[in-house]
């Protein structure tokens, strides 16, 4: 990555722009965080499966909106803004406290 490319990148960007951008506008991306977990799937028959949840920040060059991808990297996922991710985390903490999964403050 050239010095000029690095100056345009947000501090969290780990993209190799020369290899990943394919001649288009630079797409910034963070390191991917992998969260192992267990999914409960409802339907005709309830199943419990091991899963890996991937989390990655991304933004197009010059776009002030930073996206947060949360998903399995294949078919199931959400692409949300950092503001929405912040609200989601706060509500998730509240729900976990109600369920007794984390201590009350």
**Angle at 53 (CA atoms; ends 72, 59), nearest 5 degrees:** 75
Beta-bridge partners for 81: 67
CA nearest 31: which of 53, 20, 19, 15?
15
Domain parsing of the chain, residue ranges: 3-98
Instruction: Encode pLDDT of 71-90 as tens digits.
Output: 988 878 999 999 999 999 99
Task: Determine contact, residues 55/68, Cβ cutoff 8 Å.
Answer: yes
Whole-number Å distance between alpha carbons of 50 and 63 = 36
pLDDT in tens, 37-81: 999 988 889 999 999 999 999 999 888 999 999 998 887 899 999
Global pTM reads: 0.81
């Amino acid at each position: 990555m050239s010095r000029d490319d690095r100056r345009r990148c947000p501090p969290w960007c780990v993209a190799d722009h020369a290899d990943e951008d394919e001649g288009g506008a630079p797409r910034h991306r963070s390191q991917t965080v992998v969260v192992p977990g267990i999914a409960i799937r409802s339907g005709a028959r309830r199943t419990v499966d091991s899963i890996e949840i991937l989390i990655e920040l991304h933004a197009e060059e010059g776009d002030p909106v930073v996206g947060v991808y949360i998903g399995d990297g294949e078919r199931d996922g959400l692409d949300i803004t950092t503001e929405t991710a912040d609200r989601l985390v706060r509500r998730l903490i509240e729900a976990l406290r109600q369920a007794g999964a984390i201590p009350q403050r």
